[in-house]
Structure 1
């Protein structure tokens, strides 16, 4: 995936850049933040309680 690039990685966050292959002038930036909370079945409805 040449069009997806991680810009920065911190302990609890990442910043990514996505560039559309067919339209080079469109670039999207997004971040992922780890809130250090326990996952629940609400996060993934397909998971069972034991997971």
Structure 2
């Protein structure tokens, strides 16, 4: 396993973007992140990159 991710919660003010997000990435897997504007894709990568 390359990564095992658990994000408890991420909010901006009163708006909760993510809550109880869990996923893992195994060797050789390819992962894509898709969604509408403003749903937290860039925020997710910001959290993952530290």
TM norm. shorter chain > 0.5: no
Structure with the bigger RCO (C-alpha within 8 Å, sep 6+) is 2
Determine which structure has the larger helix proportion and give its number. Answer: 2
Normalising by structure 1, report the TM-score. 0.31
Question: Which entry has the higher C-alpha Rg, 1 or 2?
Answer: 1
